[in-house]
A and B are shown apart, each in its own frame.
Chain A
Amino acid sequence: MDILSQLVQLVINGLLSGAVLAMPAIGFTLMFAVLGFPNFGISGHLAVGAFAGWVLNAVYGWSIWLVIPCGFVAAGLVGVATDALVFRRMRTAAPITLAIISVAVTLFLENALRFGFGNTLRTYTVPLTRDWQVGGFRIGTQQVETAAWSLCVMAVLFCVLRYTQLGRALRATADNRALAGVKGIDTQGIARLVVFIGMGLAGASGILLGIDTSIDPLIGFRIMLAVFAAAVVGGLGSVPGAVLGAFVIGIAEEVSQIVLPAVYKSAVGFVLILLFLTFRPSGLLGERR
């Protein structure tokens, strides 16, 4: 394969992985916009969704496509519970304090999963499929299916945010929480809903990631840097930015393999975070805060 073909193949791979990465990145950025702090608890909730899906799929034999919404709901509900137990009484605390607490929440959830399921790598029961060959390029059918799922979820979320009164209320709360309260919006309820959606997206993406490879309690921890990078590159608080950032990170990680060993792939996100926070803190589509 010549260098150009290799590049195209890597960009295709990057687009597919970026589509999956976009889901937790949207969740992360949505929660940042409304709650005002980076909730790293998303990594633990991603693992919760992945394991909830695994139990239903591998233990109870449910279809993989049925367990994805279940993983969403499971992670979303655990998110609402952790929010009520831990974060709700601390809404006015400094963002850095809340960010550190969210790391503790992730550690708790990951270790709870480790306690229950051990460290063994687990896989979903999915039908084996042959990769497509298109114009000399290899495209994994499973990856296309997971990317399609992700794009559908993003489309639904976009429509809700854009065209419904609930979506407007959510965006209004992200813009100005005090004013939203004066207008009659139940801002606490919106905060709970955002946590449910954000953690739910993380949980569903945990299953999508697991379909492609395998799952273990640290599945969320391994992609947290890429999720954070996607949100920062796109502009913290911007949902379209998170999608764009996810594709940028997905492609950059894949393309970096031309010059870097694959083991350094995750360093790409780290470098991009550094570059953006230094030279363009508002990200590609974010507003200056």
Chain B
Amino acid sequence: MALITAHDIVAGYGASEEILKGVSLHVNAGEMVSIIGPNGAGKSTFLKVIAGMLKARRGRIELDGTSIEALEARRITELGVAFVAQEQNTFPSLSVEENLAIGAYLFKGDRRPRMEAMMTRFPLLRERRRQAARTLSGGQRQTLAVAAALMASPRLLLLDEPSAGLSPKAADELFATLQAIRAEGVAILMVEQNALAALEISDRAYVLVLGRNARAGDARAIADDPEIRRLFLGG
């Protein structure tokens, strides 16, 4: 059953031209889905629309059958959607621990068990728990951003270029972590520059081109499609 469904989304920034010109997509509960496509296809814009950071000009988004396209970002978070942006995804002057605490801002119970679990999953966060986020390296900040998003115990995790700026080893670790998160039942919708790696761990994928759906289907089939490999996957 679909956890989130987007119908015919049209969106853009300010009074400028539309970037999304009618994108439709769905993610089932516990599923990992990737969105791939060339630069300017509107992949990141689409995630922002789902997260409520950018309002769709047209179209409908349903989370568990409830319409969410008009809701504020914090209401969407409240309903179980967590978003990790590509950049500026942590609070630089707050410590690692404080970033995690803010991640669970809407959770009114004791946050310590969640924080403890997150520091066990990502040991480097424990080592640097008192450090300000601005003092972390790019990869460490990315890990913190994902951990802070998980602090909200989301049902759907939206990730915008999670491996951007990471070393190959750090990227591999991140993808392994994403698989573990997904195995716990969290659905993941991801935009990823390293499309092949993303397709390898995804169940399904969508290809966006110029703000429209170009292809959709099983991730393996898309990864093996010779035309898609030639156009978007570098051979």
Determine if B152 is an interface residue (Cβ-Cβ < 8 Å): yes
**A171 touching B91 in the complex, CB below 8 Å, given contacts A183-B77, A184-B78, A184-B106:** yes
Interface stretch (choices B58-66, B81-89, B199-207, B211-219)? B81-89
A172 to B94, CA, bound (A): 7
For the complex, count residues of B whose C-beta is within 8 A of A. 26
Cβ of B72 under 8 Å from chain A: yes
Contact A181 B102 (CB under 8 A): no
Q: Which residue of A lies closest to B75 (CB)?
A: A184
Is A165 a contact of B77 with CB atoms below 8 Å?
Answer: no
A-B contact pairs, 20 of them (CB 8 A): A165-B101, A165-B105, A168-B94, A168-B102, A171-B91, A175-B94, A176-B92, A178-B73, A179-B88, A181-B53, A182-B51, A182-B73, A183-B102, A183-B103, A183-B105, A183-B148, A184-B78, A185-B74, A185-B102, A287-B93
A186 within 8 A of B: yes
Residue among A171, A176, A181, A287 making CB contact with B88, cutoff 8 Å: A176
Residue B8 lies at the interface, judged by CB distance under 8 Å to chain A: no
A182 in contact with B106 (CB, 8 Å)? no
Q: Which residues of the partner chain B approach A180 to less than 8 Å between Cβ atoms?
A: 91, 102
Q: Is B102 touching A172 in the complex (CB atoms < 8 A)?
A: yes
Contact indicator per residue, chain A 134-177, by CB within 8 Å of chain B (1) or not (0): 00000000000000000000000000000001001101101110
User: In the assembled complex, how far is the CB of residue B83 from the closest CB belonging to chain A, in whole angstroms?
Assistant: 5
Tell me the minimal C-beta distance from B14 to chain A in angstroms.
10
Q: B31 at the A/B interface (Cβ < 8 Å)?
A: no
B18 at the interface (CB under 8 A from A): no
Q: What is B's interface to A at a CB cutoff of 8 Å?
A: 51-53, 72-74, 77-78, 83, 85, 88-94, 98, 101-103, 105-106, 134, 148, 152
A175's nearest neighbour on chain B, judged by CB, is: B91
Nearest CB of chain B from residue A155's CB, rounded to whole Å:
20
Instruction: Tell me, in angstroms, the Cα distance from A181 to B77 when the chains sit together.
Output: 9
Contacts of B106 in A (CB 8 A): 183-184
Q: For B92, what are the chain A residues with a Cβ–Cβ distance below 8 Å? A: 175-176, 287
The answer for the CA separation of A184 and B77 in the assembled complex, in Å, is 6
- Chain A: CB-nearest residue to B98: A168
Q: Which 7 A-B pairs have the closest CB atoms?
A: A184-B106, A175-B91, A184-B74, A184-B77, A181-B73, A172-B91, A184-B105
Q: Which residues on A are within 8 Å of B, measured CB to CB?
A: 165, 168-169, 171-172, 174-176, 178-186, 287
Contacts of B88 in A (CB 8 A): 176, 179
State the CA gap A178–B48 with chains docked (Å).
Answer: 11
B91-A179 in contact (CB<8A)? yes
Q: How far is the CB of A54 from chain B (nearest CB, A)?
A: 38
Which single residue of chain B is at the shortest CB-CB distance from A237? B93
Choose from A165, A179, A181, A183 the contact partner of B72 (Cβ within 8 Å): A181
A286 to chain B, nearest CB (A): 11
Contact of A171 with B94 in the complex, beta carbons under 8 Å: yes
For B93, what are the chain A residues with a Cβ–Cβ distance below 8 Å? 171, 174-175, 287
User: Which of B83, B85, B102, B106 has the largest count of A CB atoms less than 10 A from its CB?
Assistant: B102
Q: B84's closest neighbor in chain A, by CB?
A: A182
A176 near B91: Cβ-Cβ < 8 Å: yes
A186 and B74: CB pair below 8 A? Answer: yes
Question: Which partner residue on chain B sits nearest A162 by CB separation?
Answer: B98
A287 (CB) vs chain B CBs: closest residue: B93
- Cβ–Cβ < 8 Å partners of A178 in chain B: 53, 73
- A287–B85 alpha-carbon span in the complex (Å): 23
A174 CB to closest chain B CB, in angstroms?
Answer: 8
Residues in B whose Cβ lies below 8 Å from that of A183: 74, 77, 102-103, 105-106, 148, 152
Give A104 Cβ to nearest chain B Cβ, in Å: 28
Asked if residues B53 and A169 are in contact (CB atoms below 8 Å), the reply is no
Neighbouring A residues of B91 by C-beta, 8 Å: 171-172, 175-176, 179-180
- A179–B82 alpha-carbon span in the complex (Å): 11
Contacts of A287 in B (CB 8 A): 92-93, 134
Q: Judging by beta carbons under 8 Å apart, are B85 and A184 in contact?
A: no
Chain B residues lying within 8 Å of A171, measured Cβ to Cβ, are 91, 93-94, 98
